[in-house]
Structure 1
Amino acid sequence: MTQAIQTEGAFRIHLLAASPAASLAILSIASVLGIGSQQAADRLASLPSVLADDVPGPEARRLSALLTALGLLVRLDPTFSTVASVAADPLLEMSIRVDDRDDRPAAVAHLVQILGRAESDVDIALNSPEGLVLQALNAQSAVDLRQEFRRDRSLRLTVADPAISVYDAFPRPGAALPAGELLRLGLGKCRFSGAVATAMNHATARHLKRRVSDRLIILNREFQRYDLFVSTVPSRANKELADFLDSRPGANRAASPDALRRIETDLTHRVAVQFVADYAAIGLDVQPRLRGMPAAEIN
């Protein structure tokens, strides 16, 4: 049995919740969808709703990114998807992380106060590969939490709809791989991340969680974050390249000449893949590491 692969196509854009800045998107919506400004405003005023049907992939993602930046909650469904209608109020998930450069104890204390959880539980969750994940949120709850947490600039929030997310599975430390189950489902490995099963849909991920959760760690790709590491730049490298690597936002110097040093941090899966390819193009062998996962378990 092989896993079905979705091809690039058109999308239905669901508008789940608006924001005070929603009116700024009217002209962009009208331009992308080829409709009048008043019609775009009318669609924004109806929530939740289908903003548009059969929007080509590039345009749908561009419009989704713009709306998300303005604080709206948006979901893209392939037009052939069997996901239930937005009218059913889909349940969302929110991943919370703390910026490494900020005051972690203060951020943890804030989360403990808002969520009513034990400090140790919050701290452990923040260190996990997906961060602290809040589940089964309706659209309004996600908006309310985002507004509440936005006051703390150290927090990094990601909202995803689990029904249309992509999942990867990693080996659980000390456990035997369920090789037979993975083979039966036709799941392949990922050379980039070290996942033993990659690009799974929600149904497949849920199936594996039920059957082999004791042997696999199954992660929503939307919540994964990667650091990139490179060996110390060889002496033959020119000064411009060395200075460039030192200037990267996630750069830290290696402890010894043979050690790896970090040059990028907290990248999404998609951005990390692109950066690895970009560095390879200039002759640098860059290694990705999934944050929150011991390196030995993913490589």
Structure 2
Amino acid sequence: MSATVTSSRQMRVTLLSAPQCFRVAAGLISRHLGLERPLVSRLLAQEGAVLSEGMPAAAAERLSPLLAALGVIVRLDPTGAPEEPLVVDVAVQPLRPTSEATLARLATHLRQEPEAIRAALAGRQGLLLSLCQSDAEALRHAFRRDGSLRIALSSLHTARYDLFLKPGCAMSAGLQKLLRQLGLAPCLFSGAVGAALDARTARLVLARHGDIVEALNRDFQRFDLFLAEGHDISRPDIADFLATRVRVEPKRLMSPHRAQDIRLESGLSRAAARRFHADYAAIGLETRIELVSEPVSCGA
């Protein structure tokens, strides 16, 4: 009797997240749902999209783990159930000193006290929020023209975290052993002691070693780019190019030893830092990448 009831149930299949390359998953969904492949591809590009409103429960429960293996995370709800909003993590980060007017607008938009906003913005990752997708997009749209803020969104289901030692802390034997047991390697790009953890693994490590290490969401990390130590920029064309990028005295640009602390770019996302690093290398400039650890001051 119960088997008959289960087979007659209909499920809504909602997309929570999908990898950038979802070609194989699109074919699988197309076959299982009887949808045209171009339509499936469009749906997979929209987090929160409903892939099916009335799929038999047994078929949906078979499809879900197959999609998960391909990096596509879906949620199953009974057909007709109230739709749950898609929730995302949000980081509001100051790129330069934030004006009192911007702080006031942000406090009004988020219905929080300005002083609470100011204190949160001073954190290493900025003001962290969990909002439904529509509210997060509305926040980003409202401040799209404010160049003093970066508003980054991150999927709860695909976010990856890097582990960084807290200031003044050193690697312990216990943490080193746990990282080895979990198969976690350091990140040469960012300097993290453990790279690309999912949320569950990050929580596990922090539960045991949160006194010496912190987990930073890759979507919220910020980087500065500096000239590499001892780099020779005495060529006039290189010096002229740098003069258009940074405000420094020409004498400093012509001195490799003094030029090593020149910051070329600041507050870059992880993807942008990689891109700029490669672009500078293409014109003969080696750079070093540093994770931003000091917050930008906010307001007066």
TM-score category by the smaller chain? 0.5 to 0.7
CA contact (8 A) 1:233 1:242 kept: no
1:129 match: secondary structure: coil
What TM-score comes out, normalization by structure 2 length?
A: 0.64
1: CA distance, partners of 2:142 / 2:218? 25
Q: 1:240 to 1:130 in 2, by over 3 A?
A: same
Q: 1:293 to 1:199 in 2, by over 3 A?
A: farther
- Dislocated runs of 4+, deviation >6 Å: 42-47, 232-235
Matching of residues 199-278 of structure 1 within 5 Å: 199-230=196-227, 237-248=234-245, 251-253=246-248, 258=258, 259-278=260-279
Residue 93 of structure 1 deviates from its aligned partner by 0.8
- Which residue matches 1:63? none
Q: Are residue 165 (structure 1) and residue 165 (structure 2) matched?
A: no
Residue 49 of structure 1 deviates from its aligned partner by 2.1
Q: Are residue 182 (structure 1) and residue 179 (structure 2) matched?
A: yes
CA contact (8 A) 2:160 2:196 kept: yes
CA contact (8 A) 2:92 2:126 kept: yes
Letter in 1 for 2:292: R
1: CA distance, partners of 2:276 / 2:44? 37
1: CA distance, partners of 2:161 / 2:50? 26
CA contact (8 A) 1:109 1:119 kept: yes
Residue 266 of structure 1 deviates from its aligned partner by 2.3
Q: 1:125 to 1:253 in 2, by over 3 A?
A: farther
1:174 match: secondary structure: coil
Residue 78 of structure 1 deviates from its aligned partner by 6.5
Q: Are residue 127 (structure 1) and residue 117 (structure 2) matched?
A: no
- Which residue matches 1:291? 292
Structure 2 regions of 5+ residues with no counterpart? 1-18, 27-36, 53-66, 78-83, 296-300
Q: Please provide the CA RMSD for this pair.
A: 3.9
Residue 224 of structure 1 deviates from its aligned partner by 1.0
Deviations for 1:131-188, whole angstroms, at most 9, x for unmatched residues?
21112x2223223333443464533211111220111110012334322222221111
Alignment identity in percent? 30
CA contact (8 A) 2:187 2:194 kept: yes
Q: How many residues align?
A: 237
- Give the alignment partner of residue 81 of structure 1, picking from 38, 57, 71: 71
- Which residue matches 1:139? 133
Deviations for 1:17-38, whole angstroms, at most 9, x for unmatched residues?
xxxxxxxxxxxxxxxx6469xx
2: CA distance, partners of 1:112 / 1:120? 9
Residue 196 of structure 1 deviates from its aligned partner by 0.6
Deviations for 1:80-124, whole angstroms, at most 9, x for unmatched residues?
237342865442111112332x75333223223333445444334
- Which residue matches 1:111? 106
- Which residue matches 1:95? 91
Which stretch of the first structure deviates more once superposed, 82-91 or 265-274?
Answer: 82-91
CA contact (8 A) 1:9 1:78 kept: no
1: CA distance, partners of 2:112 / 2:185? 37
Letter in 1 for 2:136: A
1: CA distance, partners of 2:204 / 2:283? 41
